[in-house]
């Protein structure tokens, strides 16, 4: 991938971050709720998937040959909704209805109400099992599409996801790529304080997975990792994307308090006053866009 293509993907990620803030601003006004840290941190991964790797068509969202992306950690759905809207599945203006009454953009995705959603997610730890089922059905149907599954580090504290890990490794399911948002935050604080996961890579390798460990906010590393993952044909793949929660908004970055809180809801120590948080976030994202255009980011 050349430098211009990488720049285009970085700009897409930047626009996804802007749309995430728009959606969360709407969610705050609609219900006073919303998750911020994870969606901003995963914007680079979702930009690479939707605008470079995934075979999908907003005009034909049920194409039987499309690639599938399942979101297991459904609480970060603001990044999924923003990616779908930017891809053309529905108008970006609808993002302002996020978490509102009778909206299609529920706080956790609900398959069947919005084009482009492959699974319903809310209870953590279920998405990988769903992805395995789809991959098995694909093989029965003699299809060749890729199944992607986005997961989180926090949900790996649950037992059911490890049952799925064992099964996928046992069956040597190929064209199954899990991308984990390893940002080390959950609603109660740092993951490594709540329930440590390390040695994480060794655990997956022991269950016969191919493991790729990357900086999940470095677009080149993301592109290289997914390209490599698609070449692995004898086992499932997990990409450990070590991301910065709240990426792109300085007062949110790395702060677990933004895991489950939208901007504008509360005054938070170290952050602008609540009535200025959205404006500051937009300003920083716009400044980053200019840096990308100038080749400085």
Spatial contact of 89 and 166, defined as CB atoms under 8 Å apart: no
Residue 142 belongs to domain spanning: 3-293
Q: Give the H/E segment covering residue 148.
A: strand 147-152
Q: How many domains does the chain have?
A: 1
Residue 123 has pLDDT above 90, yes or no: no
Long-range pairs, 87-94, Cβ under 8 A, ≥24: 87/50, 87/51, 87/56, 87/58, 87/116, 88/58, 88/59, 89/58, 89/61, 89/114, 89/115, 89/116, 90/114, 90/115, 92/19, 92/22
Distance of CA 91 to the CA centre of its chain: 20
Q: pTM, whole model, 2 decimals? A: 0.98
Q: What is the pLDDT of residue 35?
A: 98
Write out pLDDT tens, residues 183-239: 999 999 999 999 999 999 999 999 999 999 999 999 999 999 999 999 999 999 999
Write out pLDDT tens, residues 70-93: 999 999 999 999 999 999 999 999
Spatial contact of 38 and 73, defined as CB atoms under 8 Å apart: yes
Give me the CATH number covering residue 75: 3.40.50.970
Write out pLDDT tens, residues 168-198: 999 999 999 999 999 999 999 999 999 999 9
- Rounded to whole angstroms, the Cα distance separating 11 from 55 reads 20
Write out pLDDT tens, residues 250-296: 999 999 999 999 999 999 999 999 999 999 999 999 999 999 999 99
């Amino acid at each position: 991938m050349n430098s211009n293509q990488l720049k285009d993907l970085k700009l897409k990620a930047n626009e996804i971050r802007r749309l995430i803030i728009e959606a969360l601003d709407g969610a705050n006004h609609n219900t006073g709720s919303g998750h911020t840290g994870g969606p901003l941190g995963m914007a680079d991964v979702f930009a690479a998937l939707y605008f470079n790797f995934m075979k999908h068509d907003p005009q034909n969202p049920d194409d039987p040959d499309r690639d599938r992306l399942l979101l297991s950690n459904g609480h970060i759905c603001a990044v999924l909704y923003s990616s779908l809207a930017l891809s053309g599945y529905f108008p970006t203006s609808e993002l302002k209805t996020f978490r509102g009454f009778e909206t299609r953009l529920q706080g956790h995705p609900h398959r069947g109400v919005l084009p482009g959603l492959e699974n319903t997610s809310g209870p953590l730890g279920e998405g990988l099992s769903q992805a395995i089922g789809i991959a098995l059905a694909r093989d029965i149907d003699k299809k060749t599409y890729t199944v992607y599954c986005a997961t989180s580090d926090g949900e790996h504290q649950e037992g059911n996801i490890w049952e799925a890990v064992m099964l996928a490794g046992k069956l040597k399911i190929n064209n199954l790529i899990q991308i984990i948002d390893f940002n080390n935050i959950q609603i109660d604080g740092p993951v490594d304080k709540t329930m440590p996961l390390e040695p994480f890579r060794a655990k997956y390798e022991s269950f016969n997975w191919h493991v790729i460990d990357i900086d999940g906010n470095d677009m080149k590393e993301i592109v290289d990792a997914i390209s490599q993952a698609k070449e692995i044909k004898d086992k499932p793949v997990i990409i450990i994307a070590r991301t910065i929660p709240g990426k792109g908004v300085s007062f949110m970055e790395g702060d677990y308090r933004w895991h489950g809180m939208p901007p504008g809801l509360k005054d938070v120590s170290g952050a602008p006053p609540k009535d200025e948080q959205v404006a500051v976030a937009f300003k920083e994202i716009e400044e980053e866009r200019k840096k990308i255009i100038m080749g400085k980011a």
